[in-house]
Amino acid sequence: MARPFTCCGANIICLMPEKTPTTKKGLRARFLLPLLYALPVVFVLGLCGYMAYGRLSHQGPPVRKISAAPFATVKIQGLDERLEAQLFAQGNALRAAGNDLFIEFRGEKGKLADVGEVSFMLALRMPNSVMHSIGKVMRTATPGQYRTTLDPGLAGEWTATLSFSGPRGKAEAVFSVQVL
């Protein structure tokens, strides 16, 4: 049955029935459309919540255990005394990837000795090339103890150069290190 309605003063007859039948596809679209808009919002809120939880839980990076015994000990002549540098890693040798290196300088009486700025470099000499691995050496809270990270990349017999410059003068030691 047609129903009349008024638009701009003119009577217009609508030929559409009063109740339009709805299909299952129309109901599904009405349900899925809000869900489609809600999923990205829920995803972003979840990601932000995960990141906030990580910051609030104060989880630091994983800590690697340093060996109690040094894998190398080197004698270095300082300005006025002979020093001994002990190098510690996660095991009894350096690895080809991801090393935390701990360096201690001790005086003749076995006491820790602050030597100032320290540098440590590894070099692997091969035919027609030389490969280097250099770590930025940083001081720890204890004077005479230093820390660095190294990533040589290849196993083999590397040449290590340990040097310092500071209150005990300038000195350098070159020695061989096995990288596994």
Judge whether residue 176 has pLDDT over 80: yes
What pLDDT score does 29 carry? Answer: 73
pLDDT digits (tens, 9 = 90+) for 120-145: 999 999 899 899 999 899 999 999 99
Nearest 5°: CA angle at 174, between 173 and 178?
130
In this predicted structure, what is the pLDDT of residue 90?
87
User: Which residues, other chains included, contact 150 with Cβ-Cβ below 8 Å and sequence gap of 6+?
Assistant: 94, 99, 101, 120, 122, 133, 135
How many angstroms separate the CA atoms of 97 and 152, rounded?
Answer: 6
Neighbouring-strand partners of residue 165: 117, 170
pLDDT value at position 74? 95
Q: pLDDT category, 162, cuts 50, 70, 90?
A: very high
- The phi and psi torsions of 51 (rounded to 5 degrees) equal -65, -40
pLDDT at 92: 84
Kindly tell me if the per-residue pLDDT of 61 is higher than 70: no
What's residue 24's pLDDT? 65
| Predicted local distance difference test score (pLDDT) of residue 54 | 79
Phi (first) and psi of residue 162, to 5 degrees:
-115, 125
CA distance to 5, 23, 33, 117, per residue, from 20 (Å) = 17, 10, 21, 85
pLDDT tens-digit profile of 88-107? 998 888 998 888 899 999 99
**Residue 111: pLDDT band by 50, 70, 90 thresholds?**
very high
